[in-house]
Structure 1
Amino acid sequence: MDALNNKLYFIDSTKHKIFVEQIINGMHDWVRVIDINDNIIFVNESMAKALGKNVIGEKCYKAIGKSEPCENCTSRKAVFEGTIQAKEEIIGDRIFSVKSSPIRDENGQITAVVEVLRDITEMKKMQKKILEHNQKLQSELNMARRLQCSLLPKELPQDKIDFSYVYRPCEAIGGDFLDIFKIDDEHIGIYIADVSGHGVPASMLTVFLRSSINKKTLSPAEALNQLYKEFNRDYYDQELYITIFYAIIDTKNKNIIYSNAGHNASPVLFNHESHRFDILRIPGVPISDWVDNPEYTEKSISIEKGDRLFMYTDGIVELRNNKGEQFGEERLLNILLGEKMPPAMTLDRIIEAAMEFANIKNFNKIIDDITMALLEIL
């Protein structure tokens, strides 16, 4: 009975060995087994066919065209450290991913190493193309960012107002935008806008906005009506839309006329000395294709020396902390109405407080565009 069992065991183990060899020989990857002296003791059919010769008994490095052991030999490291090792190896004009795994006998001693070599040449070529494409795209985005930033206000009418702004897109280019400009000797136009979405499509609409808005009319509502019509003529198939708050400051008659196209971050007019505080709320449809006739309206409010107009997009108030709480309008207003500082310092303080609230160390981690402007009547 023992002899019969031994015979059956031999038959079963032989079948098992043949089955394993069939599996290995069926692999497209190269497989070889190397003893602890660097001698090849087995190769699968894929490797033997590719090399075109019998490499059994050869040194592992000579079989792949090298005259001496590889500088970073994963097989020797696998024997020495007893763990799986990996690297990339150039063989001829091909690139291979190599994984070397130690083989142990029944006593746990390492007796050989099995290497699996996968041809990753085409993958490497594709990675290179993707990298080159990404570098080109990044270069183009950087150029687009410079172009977009060049459209932001630079020469400001500082004799009648003190003005400062923050413009920080969450991507290379953003969907927020603002502009301030002199209409004539007595009127200054200022608007802040937020295009739905981010990136290139949104940034293209900010360029459209700057080039299309009427900077001559003294009626913000008329300017928005014209902008709405032009948007529907040139961008009628766009899913994006623009929210914009537009105000015209009359420095002679001391008032602000304003209109709104769906911009929900309502500007604030305030004065530290007189304790003035007004939120400039007015309804309006975003610049879109939602309705045929948006019928924008406008309001007027008087101003005096020392009044400050704060305009912003919702990116700052929607920052959240780890509890899911928003920074919100109340915290924003507390900073604005607190200690009086120059406009630029006030905006910096808002940014610092918002990032501290959201526990953000790096501004690049912010997921929405942030744009703010603070204007003081002199």
Structure 2
Amino acid sequence: MNDILVVDDNRTMLMFMERVLTKRGFNVTTANDGTQALTVLEECPHIQFVLSDWMMPEMDGIELCSRLKSGSYSRYIFFVLLSGKDDQESIIDGINAGADDFVVKDTHVDEISARIKAGFRTLELHNQITAQNNELDSAYAIMKKDLESAGDLLKRLLPAERKLSGVEISYVSLPSAQIGGDMLGYMQLDEENVGFYLLDVAGHGVSSALMSFSVQQSIAVNTGKGSIVKSPIEQAPFYKINSPDSVLKQLNDLYLSDDHNLLYFTMVYSVLNVKTGMLEFSIAGHPPLVWLHAATGDAEFIGQDSFVVGAFDFVEYQTARIQLEPGDKIWIYSDGITEAEKGSEQFTEEGLRQTVMEIKHHPTTVQTEMLVNRVRDWQRSEQFDDDVSVLVVEWTGYSEGEQSCNTKLSTRVNAQFFK
């Protein structure tokens, strides 16, 4: 790297600078004014060092410097302004125009050569940093594309069917970044039972997303010896549906943290008998559920004091049971929705409960989207700082013609209610 463009309208000065700099090992190209200099630089993209006179016709050194230092110019140029003036105002004008150095014409040629060499060292460092930044940009672009692909894959894992036998379901899942740590889902366990869940892995990014994906895969297997939601038995129907607390216990055993893996997650796992309306659920460190009563329009919290999944080996979970009436809804959500912020204020669980009651007359299929939009309007921002997941399940009741079931069973067994 020793190519220099010398610009001067004085032919004698131009020839002198070309001769002395060539003797010192520089490859010198010349131009008679600023306009010609721009043409030379366009034709010679390898030149990044310009030594230019100040006073020239058509385009002087100050204007040439301003153009080369503008953000729209195609490459970085190290610019040295050569002038017959040695006053402070001239130096300030040159530096304000973007010049990297200022040299008076009567400066000894050895000093000029030393300054040029120093300029090339700065130029080389700049080019190294630029090359490294380009490599980083390229790596980031690849990572961004991979993350977007991973995000699309996680979205495909979300259930497509919104209506199962005896229930109507609506959900929203919004990662705060390209991929998030929330996951939700539901499945037909058999003709009478539907399982549904929502989990929130601590943290954000790839590691959290991979864990949520892994947990989802663990739950998705609902047949055979590898299933954690069903267990084989010897009598017909040759399986039994595992209780929600048993499912959480198995997940805790599978994902117990060690010194190399400090990830854990909160979770709700539930099983609804679609013929009787009996709901069994177990909570692992997750916010309480919201139970919306169709008969009264009131909503209340139901929850349990419990530990997260994957943090402790001594954890025992509990299964709670409630009896739903036709039209009752169960809302499950991640704390990204209740901890949405407007200044120092949070939306809160109570804000969610009130909103659930306000939108109860709208179709179930649109209620989760309405809730999320209410929170967006409240915080005056489209974006959330945390992953947001909301799942609502409505028990529509047993089909007409089926034998009536006793729906007047105890409604508050093994569950804690939060007002």
In which range does the TM-score fall when normalised by the shorter chain?
0.7 to 0.9
CA RMSD of aligned residues (A): 3.8
Aligned to 1:6: none
**Counterpart Cα distance in 2 of 1:247 and 1:219:** 9
Q: Is 115-124 or 244-253 further displaced after alignment? A: 115-124
Q: Given residue 346 of structure 2, which amino acid in structure 1 is its aligned partner?
A: Q
- Single out whichever of 196-205 and 366-375 deviates more from structure 2: 366-375
Correspondence for 2:31: 59
1:328 matched to 2:352: no
Change over 3 Å in CA distance of 1:223–1:47 after alignment to 2: farther
Distance in 1, matches of 2:42 and 2:181, equals: 52
2:191 matched to which residue of 1?
A: 185
Per-residue CA deviations over 1:230-270 (Å, capped at 9, x if unaligned) read: 113x867311101101111111222111111111x211011
The aligned counterpart of 1:224 is 248
- Distance in 2 (CA, whole Å) between partners of 1:69 and 1:147 is 51
- Indicate if the aligned counterparts of 1:236 and 1:289 stay in contact, CA closer than 8 A: no
- Quote the sequence identity (%): 22
Instruction: Determine if contact 1:224/1:296 at 8 Å carries over to the other structure.
Output: yes
Q: Which residue of 2 aligns with 1:176?
A: 182
Letter in 1 for 2:31: K
Between the aligned partners of 2:390 and 2:305, the Cα distance in structure 1 is 20
Q: Answer whether contact 2:197 2:268 (CA < 8 A) is retained.
A: yes
State TM-score, norm by structure 1.
0.75
C-alpha distance in structure 2 between counterparts of 1:275 and 1:124, whole Å? 62
Tell me how many residue pairs correspond in the alignment.
334
> Residues 194 and 48 (structure 1 numbering): CA distance in 2 closer, same or farther, change over 3 Å?
farther
1:130 to 127, 136, 141: 136
Deviates more, 1:116-125 or 1:28-37: 28-37
Task: Return closer, same or farther for 1:253/1:48 CA change in 2, 3 Å cut-off.
Answer: farther
**Change in CA separation of 1:108 and 1:162 when aligned onto 2, cut-off 3 Å:** same
Q: 1:31 to 1:176 in 2, by over 3 A?
A: same
Aligned position for 1:350: 371
Mapped to 1, the partners of 2:363 and 2:206 lie a distance apart of 34
Which AA in structure 1 matches 2:271?
I
Query: What's the CA shift string for 1:286-324, capped at 9, x where partnerless?
Result: 11232x2211111100001110111100001111113x1
Distance of 1:199 and 1:82 partners within structure 2: 45
> Comparing 96-105 with 152-161, which one deviates more in the overlay?
96-105
For residues 258 and 88 of structure 2, the distance between their equivalents in structure 1, rounded to whole angstroms, comes to 75
What do residues 33-83 of structure 1 show as CA deviations (whole Å, max 9, x unaligned)? 85576965869x999745256x7xx43789xx9894446999647534996
User: Is residue 319–residue 327 contact of structure 1 (8 Å, CA) maintained in 2?
Assistant: yes
Contact residue 51 and residue 82 of structure 2 kept, 8 A: no
Q: 1:87 to 1:305 in 2, by over 3 A?
A: same
Gaps of 5+ in 1: 1-27
Is residue 84–residue 99 contact of structure 1 (8 Å, CA) maintained in 2? no
Equivalent AA in structure 1 for residue 322 of structure 2? I
Change (3 A) 1:256 1:102: farther
Alpha-carbon shift at residue 155 of structure 1 (Å): 2.7
Q: Which residue among 268, 271, 280 is the counterpart of 2:290?
A: 268
Tell me which moved more, 175-184 or 214-223: 214-223
- Do residues 284 (structure 1) and 256 (structure 2) align? no
**Residues 270 and 279, structure 2, Cα contact 8 Å, conserved in 1:** yes
How far apart are residue 148 of structure 1 and its match?
Answer: 1.1
> Post-superposition shift, 1:152?
1.1
Equivalent pair of 1:61/1:70 in contact (CA under 8 Å): no
Q: Determine the C-alpha separation between the residues in 2 that align with 1:136 and 1:147.
A: 16
TM-score by length of 2: 0.68
Q: 1:70 to 1:248 in 2, by over 3 A?
A: same
Query: CA, structure 1 residues 30+205, in 2 after alignment: closer, same or farther (shift >3 Å)?
Result: same
Give 1:225's aligned amino acid: K
2:69 alignment partner, SS class = strand
CA distance 1:123–1:80, change in 2 (3 Å): closer
- Measured in 2, the distance between the counterparts of 1:359 and 1:81 equals 47
